[in-house]
A and B are shown apart, each in its own frame.
Chain A
Amino acid sequence: MDRLLFGDNQFFGVNHMSEEKARAQAMRFQDIKAIIGVLDNAYDEGVRSFMCTTHDRIAQVCEHMRANPERYKDFQFMPCMPYAHKYANAVTEDGMLGALRRFMPDEGFLNAAMRGGMSLARKDIEGITTLLIDAEMKMFAGLNTPVIFLQNVVVDLLLGLGFKEAFRIFADHVKKRYNAEPGFITMNLPRLLDVLEEQGIENPIVCSNINKIGFRMSGGFEAYERALRERKFRAIAMSVFASGAIAPKEAIEWVCKQPNIESIVFGASSRGNIRSTRELVDQHWPVAENA
């Protein structure tokens, strides 16, 4: 994985610090061209991996990338699924089965319906889960998706419920069908690592908050430090700036000193901010150490 991954919160009005700022961003990125403009900035600054929610609007970004293969030949999508709101709304509007039908992949309605219908009847989550993954992956057809993530809302819900097998089903399907690495986003890193190990998912890619002030590092700061030191997994640090509570230089300097972090995911809305983050990382995280 690249050391720097680009996130998408800023594009969809997600800001953990201020609702005013979130709204201003939502307005600015109303036009898909504005999103693509910032992605171009990131790409030209050498930040070529995009960790993105499977939001409807990302489909438009995908179309743009497919239409310009030369320009974006090194661009990588790292889809994060599911976009939960989409399902919540669809289930309210069309009911469970109607919603499933709406998200069927293109492989042939009959096949998908069989997989979905049979699984529903047998209460077999494997069929339903793989079907939903395929539906979410539809928009990325023909694009490069080396890592596919399960979103924290789902990961942590399953984790709390003790629905452990779901992680293995997700991992297996993503590997087999998409030849991609499974990734897991969580707010409860130490606890998740135990369960992934138990499920035989080796050296998993796990993305979690890792920041100097311990913001949303549930299970405790020390447990995270220990996990980074002692556990075998590929860590991606998110919320490194703790929504702006830590100054950029201080935040990057600290995170670059932590052991075993493979990547940092960050969001930015301007080329200047993208560049300064990249420069800070170059400065505090020399390439040799990371090789």
Chain B
Amino acid sequence: MIRLAVVGLGKMGLSHHSMINAHPRVTVAAVCDAAGYVLDVLNKYTGINTYTDFDAMLAEVELDAVIIATPSSMHGKMVRAALEKNLHVFCEKPFVLDTAEGEELTRLAQQKGLVNQVGYHCRFVGAFQEVKRLMDANALGEVTHMLAETYGPVVLKPKGSTWRTQRSEGGGCLYDYAAHPLNLLTWYFGAPRGVGGSVLNKIYSADTDDEVFSTLYFEGGKSAQLSVNWSDESYRKMSTKITIWGKNGRIYADRQEVQVYLRDAEGAPPGYQTGWNVRYTTELTEPVDFYLRGEEYSSQLDYFVRCIEAGSGSDNVNSFAASVETDRTISMLIADAEKGPSVLASDALPVAQKRKKGFFFGGR
């Protein structure tokens, strides 16, 4: 049995608690939250051991692992304390707001050989895993461009103030929403070498961004466009989609399905044919033992448990190292957005080179 504690009982923390508590090989030994009220209700009705003080919990409870689901600004301190106590750590995204701190924590976890994972659940969505499989098989040939989008209805009026509406706390559309498609981009393409044309725009929020756009530049001339908006009521819930263009075709994927057009199916995984191929979530999704809100949430936690059992620290999916790549990309976007447009309408533009007219129409 793995003895585990859940820290932070907000929207994510509570559902993590429910899912991991249902895991047959895990005992939730304690939960910790700053708000005593939720803790008291949970303790009264489920008998769970509760703490409002994280350090006291670490000192008093025998643990093997923690799930940290507090606001991102608190991650760094808590992750460090847990690692120093030799605990395996599952931390919610985004990992840490300061990239240098993220790198330090990555080193610490690796040094100690502890399992370290961040909750980028998209990497556990069957459809996005299928895209990874296709990319690894080089099914599209040379890739030229990718479009990563996420839309949903989170902030729909200028009201309400929680940590999610403060960028300094790790809230906002960039940290909360855009982190997911960025994480998929770095999974498929590696870390970008640069970004440009980034826009972090407010729609309703006073203290943070509600829409995010950017161009990402990757090695080998590949580029990607990011388009994210969490104030879009036309979406019923958060919806992430990926489109990839290569010389041999195109892939489109969202949580429900993968649509693949291949000019030539040679080299693609078995079952793929030239022309259109569609795979649905019903065939791409591995069943889970306990379902709460999408298989990916259960399976990322089950994966964390399996990594602990296998003693395989550090080379897991969504490791701290991989997540620091996403965090760094986020920081690049913030820095880029502050610069504004790279060319202004008032700037002097280079004079277009006149082509020499050939004889009749021949010159090009």
Interface residues of A (CB under 8 A from B): 12-19, 22, 26, 85, 92-93, 123, 125, 153, 156-163, 165-166, 187-188, 191, 213-220, 242-245
Contacts and interface: CB of A to CB of B under 8 A. Distances in A.
Contacts of B282: 16-17, 213, 215, 242-243, 245
Contacts of A162: 21, 46-48
A268 to B, nearest CB: 19
A93 B159 contact: yes
Given A13-B236, A17-B282, A93-B160, A163 B290 contact: no
B14 A92 contact: no
Interface string B275-314: 0000011110101111111010010000000000000000
Given A156-B18, A188-B290, A218-B290, A245 B46 contact: no
B289 A218 contact: yes
B45 interface: yes
Nearest to A96: B37
B92 interface: no
B281 A17 contact: yes
A234 B227 CA distance: 47
B254 interface: yes
Interface residues on B, range: 35 or more
Contacts of A19: 239, 241, 254-257
**Which 8 interchain pairs have the tightest Cβ spacing?**
A160-B18, A187-B291, A245-B282, A218-B291, A160-B22, A162-B46, A161-B18, A156-B292
Contacts, number: 103
B248 interface: no
A203 B340 CA distance: 65
Contacts of B48: 162
B206 interface: no
Given A158-B18, A163-B46, 6 more contacts: A92-B160, A156-B18, A159-B22, A188-B22, A216-B287, A216-B295
Nearest to A243: B282
A245 B42 contact: no
A165 to B, nearest CB: 6
Interface in B318-335: none
Interface string B27-52: 00000000001001110111110000
Interface of B: 14-15, 17-19, 21-22, 37, 40-42, 44-48, 157, 159-160, 162, 236-237, 239, 241, 254-257, 280-283, 285, 287-293, 295, 298
Given A157-B18, A161-B17, A216 B291 contact: yes
B236 A12 contact: yes
A208 to B, nearest CB: 10
26 contacts: A14-B236, A16-B282, A17-B282, A18-B280, A19-B241, A19-B256, A123-B40, A123-B44, A125-B41, A125-B45, A156-B291, A156-B292, A157-B14, A157-B18, A160-B17, A160-B18, A161-B14, A162-B47, A191-B22, A215-B285, A218-B287, A219-B290, A242-B282, A243-B280, A245-B280, A245-B282
Given A156-B18, A161-B42, A16 B281 contact: yes
Contact of B292 (A15, A18, A160, A242): A160
A227 B111 CA distance: 47
Nearest to B159: A93
A223 B44 CA distance: 31
B289 A219 contact: yes
A163 B46 CA distance: 5
Nearest to A15: B256
Contacts of B292: 153, 156-157, 160, 187
A85 B47 CA distance: 28
A18 B256 contact: yes
Contact of B45 (A15, A153, A163): A163
Contacts of A218: 287-291, 298
A289 B337 CA distance: 68
A214 B287 CA distance: 8
Contacts of A213: 282
Question: A93, A123, A243 — which one has the most chain B CB atoms within 10 A of its CB?
Answer: A123
Contacts of B162: 92
A160 B290 contact: yes
A165 B287 contact: no
Contacts of A166: 45
Nearest to B292: A156
Given A93-B159, A215-B282, A160 B44 contact: no
Nearest to A245: B282
Contacts of B241: 19
B280 A157 contact: no
Question: B41, B157, B159, B298 — which one has the most chain A CB atoms within 10 A of its CB?
Answer: B41
Contacts of B45: 125, 163, 165-166
Contacts of B236: 12-14, 22, 26
Contacts of A125: 41, 45
Nearest to B36: A123
B3 to A, nearest CB: 16
Contacts of B288: 218
A159 B282 CA distance: 24
B40 A161 contact: no
B287 A160 contact: no
Contacts of A191: 22, 290
B300 to A, nearest CB: 15
A156 B292 CA distance: 6
Contacts of B157: 93
Contacts of A26: 236
Question: A19, A153, A213, A220 — which one has the most chain B CB atoms within 10 A of its CB?
Answer: A19
A243 B21 CA distance: 29
